[in-house]
A and B are shown apart, each in its own frame.
Chain A
Amino acid sequence: NAGVTQTPKFQVLKTGQSMTLQCAQDMNHNSMYWYRQDPGMGLRLIYYSASEGTTDKGEVPNGYNVSRLNKREFSLRLESAAPSQTSVYFCASSEFFRETQYFGPGTRLLVL
């Protein structure tokens, strides 16, 4: 089992460009999450999907959109990247909400 996978591992964007971060899990988990991690900070929740077919905003959703494509996949889209979105992005999944979350390896994003 690969667990939670994320692509790409690293990306450089120019201000105003768009991109989609991909996340997939093979643990048959119901809930999936996107977090961002900035220097000196813990992880902050961007969006989550408690179950297939539902998505909700987290603490810092501005500038992002998400799609729960199916039970396995949960993507995060930046429509018009800004330097403030330079961060490390983590995807996570759990069997149900409140259960232990398992994290992907992260995507480092640099917006110039």
Chain B
Amino acid sequence: AQTVTQSQPEMSVQEAETVTLSCTYDTSESDYYLFWYKQPPSRQMILVIRQEAYKQQNATENRFSVNFQKAAKSFSLKISDSQLGDAAMYFCAYSGGGADGLTFGKGTHLIIQP
């Protein structure tokens, strides 16, 4: 079974600074997808970014980018120019070759200091 590990239960960053959230995963598959989801206090799960394992280029979405290291099974999220609205729980998730949904990490609580 696949596992996803987020080793930072909580991170704090000053507004306008850059922060990196870590995620590692364990799998024997070669073809899979990785995701970062954001969960603000409203509880809604919001997709931040997605990476296909077969793509060597790291995904970017505006201020959000990933560092995908397939050999190391690492998938970190970088948030540039942090804003107060970025404060939330961030979950790393894995989707493999089967139809059996996403495997989530336990999440990182991101605090933005004004």
Q: Enumerate chain A interface residues (CB-CB to B < 8 A).
A: 31, 33, 35, 40-45, 48, 50, 56, 58, 88, 90, 92, 97-103, 105-106
Contacts and interface: CB of A to CB of B under 8 A. Distances in A.
Nearest to B42: A105
A88 B102 CA distance: 17
Contacts of B100: 45, 48, 56, 58, 97
Taking residues whose C-beta sits less than 8 angstroms from the other chain, chain B's interface range is 20 to 34
A56 B43 contact: no
Given A48-B99, A50-B99, A103 B45 contact: yes
A51 to B, nearest CB: 8
Interface string B77-104: 0000000000000010101111111111
A100 B44 contact: no
A88 B44 CA distance: 11
Contact of B95 (A43, A98, A103, A105): A98
Contact of A42 (B44, B95, B99, B104): B104
Contacts of A33: 101-102
Contact of A56 (B4, B91, B95, B99): B99
A11 to B, nearest CB: 15
